[in-house]
Amino acid sequence: MPANPAKTLLSPDNHSLLMIDHQYLQMLTIRSHNASELINQAVALAEAAAIFKVPMLTTTAFKERQGLVAPLAEATKAVEPIDRTTLNSWEDPRIVGWVEKTGRKKVVIARSPNCSQSGAAPLARACCGSGTC
């Protein structure tokens, strides 16, 4: 256990939020969770981040075919999504640049359960020096 557990907890000023590909086609393929519940949880997370002024980024893939799910798009209308150009979001220099620009040591990643190549492990290695944080 860390000497000062409070330093390891999330607070509004020590992390950013990266919301990856909350799009309709992603939701259609989910079988492990109720899609409506996932959308509601994503919206609640985005609204909480906005209330606490946590830097937040949303991403899409193939935005010309599909955008963010409408409730999340509404909740994050102040955020301009990055339309990813790679399968692994951590390989997109715009996303890496955004994370680095925040100056935050911790990144909360929210993604749909079927979005396994989102870049969470490379991001954890980059931020923490290991595959997990």
CB–CB of 58/22 below 8 Å?
A: yes
On whether residue 69 sits in a domain, the answer given is yes
Please choose, from the candidates 115, 92, 97, 91, the residue with its C-alpha nearest in 3D space to the C-alpha of residue 23.
115
Range(s) of the domain holding residue 28: 5-128
Q: How many domains would you assign to the chain?
A: 1
Q: How many whole angstroms separate alpha carbon 18 and alpha carbon 120?
A: 10
The CATH number assigned to the domain holding 90 equals 3.40.50.850
On whether residue 49 sits in a domain, the answer given is yes
pTM score above 0.75:
yes
Give tens-digit pLDDT for 46-80. Answer: 999 999 999 999 988 877 777 788 888 899 999 99
On whether residue 121 sits in a domain, the answer given is yes
